[in-house]
């Protein structure tokens, strides 16, 4: 039996113009699109053929419409039916996108696949806010961390150790865990004066940025009612966001 081919495609951080050329090519030849919510707009979905089957399996914080094991099963099922199956993910498939798990299942089932990188919000959101993650004068190292594990004792993240080890911390999916993360850092001896930025809806027209300190970021995020999706950046480079910010609204 000849199976179809699966493409795990990174849809980027939100702005459809940040899709790679290869991603567009693959989407345009899809027979089936299995897609998430974040980073996958109608503009992106409309690039696929009209007759392509579109299946939404998106996940929101605290609400999983389709469990991951069912998503993986669906990908395999559609691939076995033949044709081109595009698994479309916000950001990059291998940066907290569970792409590795899906690829493992494809290998076990003997299904041909290809992974197409996407621009991760961990890079794009700070960039659009005028925050370089590295800078010769401020930062020579970066860590990208998931905030989902902040409240999970079984999946411990040593926030203080990371804070001491790198110059810039980039936290994805950390808005709802912000208080716990900040508490762990402050309790662990990290200075409350360390600069912090939060970028909400990076690269999209509604993008917003706040810049504060570790000691004031919780109050400031509440004051501005910042919501997911947002990227949290901790480190001296965030101070550059005050003078290097270039993505202005509503001109864009």
Catalytic pick among 127, 169, 173, 198: 173
3-state helix, strand, coil in the chain (%, to 5): 35, 25, 45
DSSP 42-57: HHHHTTS-TTSEEEE-
Q: Give the whole-angstrom CA distance, residue 3 versus residue 111.
A: 7
Cα–Cα distance measured from residue 163 to residue 142, given in angstroms and rounded to the nearest whole number = 10
For residue 47, give both structure tokens.
């690039």
CA distances in angstroms from 206 to 35, 80, 90, 230, listed in the order given: 22, 40, 17, 12
152 as an active site residue: the answer is: no
Contact between 238 and 171 (Cβ < 8 Å): no
Pair of tokens at residue 243: 């003078």
Is 167 one of the catalytic residues?
no
Q: Are strands 195-200 and 63-64 parallel, antiparallel or unpaired?
A: unpaired
Tell me the pairing of strands 59-60 and 63-64.
antiparallel
| Catalytic annotation, pick one of 15, 36, 92, 167 | 36
Residues 6+ apart with CB under 8 A from 71: 34, 57, 102
Respond yes or no: is residue 59 known to be catalytic. Answer: yes
Active-site residue identified among 5, 22, 59, 220: 59
Question: Annotated active-site positions, please?
Answer: 36, 59, 173
């Amino acid at each position: 039996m000849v199976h179809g081919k699966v493409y795990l495609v990174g849809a980027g951080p939100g702005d459809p113009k940040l899709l790679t050329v290869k991603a567009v090519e693959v989407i345009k030849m899809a027979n089936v699109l299995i897609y998430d919510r974040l980073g996958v707009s109608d503009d992106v979905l409309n690039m696929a053929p009209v007759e392509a089957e579109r299946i939404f399996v998106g996940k929101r914080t605290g609400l999983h419409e389709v469990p991951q094991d069912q998503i993986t099963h669906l990908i395999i099922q559609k691939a076995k039916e033949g044709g081109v199956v595009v698994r479309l993910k916000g950001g990059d498939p291998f940066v907290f996108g569970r792409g590795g798990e899906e690829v493992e299942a494809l290998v076990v089932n003997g299904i041909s696949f290809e992974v197409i990188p996407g621009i991760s919000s961990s890079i794009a959101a700070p960039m659009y806010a005028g925050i370089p993650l590295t800078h010769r004068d401020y930062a020579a190292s970066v860590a990208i961390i998931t905030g989902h594990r902040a409240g999970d004792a079984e999946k411990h993240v040593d926030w203080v150790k990371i804070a001491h080890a790198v110059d810039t911390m980039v936290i994805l999916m950390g808005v709802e865990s912000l208080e716990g993360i900040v508490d762990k850092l402050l309790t662990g001896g990290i200075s409350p004066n360390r600069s912090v930025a939060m970028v909400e809806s990076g690269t999209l027209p509604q993008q917003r940025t706040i810049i504060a300190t570790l000691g004031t970021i919780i109050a400031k995020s509440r004051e501005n009612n910042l919501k997911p999706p947002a990227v949290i950046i901790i480190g001296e480079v965030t101070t550059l966001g005050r003078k290097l910010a270039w993505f202005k609204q509503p001109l864009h």
